[in-house]
Amino acid sequence: MTSNSDSGVRREMASERPAAATSLAGSIISAMRLHQWSKNFLIFVPLIISHEFDLADIRDAAIAFFSFSLVASATYIFNDILDREVDELHETKRLRPFASGDLQPSTGWFVIAALILLGAGLAALLPIAFGMVLAAYVVASVAYTLRLKRMLGLDIVVIACLYVLRVIAGDEAIGAQFEGLDSSDWILAFSCLLFLSLATVKRCSELARLGSGPQQRLLGRSYTVGDYPVMLAIAAAAGLSSMAILMRFIGSPDVTQNFSQPRILWVIVPLLIFWLIRMLLLANRGKIHTDPVVYTLRDPMSQLCGIGVFLVSLLAW
Is 95's pLDDT higher than 90? no
Average pLDDT over residues 25-49: 88
What confidence score (pLDDT) does residue 133 get?
94
109 vs 45 pLDDT, higher one = 109
What confidence score (pLDDT) does residue 214 get?
63
What confidence score (pLDDT) does residue 252 get?
79
What is the percent of the chain with per-residue pLDDT over 90, rounded to a whole number?
A: 44
Poorest-confidence range of 15-24, 181-190, 198-207, 304-313? 15-24
- DSSP assignment of the chain: -GGG--HHHHHHHHHHS-GGGGSHHHHHHHHHTGGGGGGGGGGGHHHHHHT---HHHHHHHHHHHHHHHHHHHHHHHHHHHHTHHHHTTSTTGGGSHHHHTSS-HHHHHHHHHHHHHHHHHHHTTS-HHHHHHHHHHHHHHHHHHHTGGGSTTHHHHHHHHHHHHHHHHHHHHHT-GGGG-THHHHHHHHHHHHHHHHHHHHHHHHHHHHTTSS--B-TTSS-BGGGHHHHHHHHHHHHHHHHHHHHHHHTSHHHHTT-SSGGGGGGHHHHHHHHHHHHHHHHHTT---S-HHHHHHH-HHHHHHHHHHHHHHHHH-
What confidence score (pLDDT) does residue 255 get?
77
Is 21's pLDDT higher than 80? no
- Tens digit of each residue's pLDDT (9 = 90 or more) over 120-144: 999 999 999 999 999 999 999 999 9
- Tens digit of each residue's pLDDT (9 = 90 or more) over 219-259: 778 888 889 999 999 999 999 999 999 998 888 777 777 78
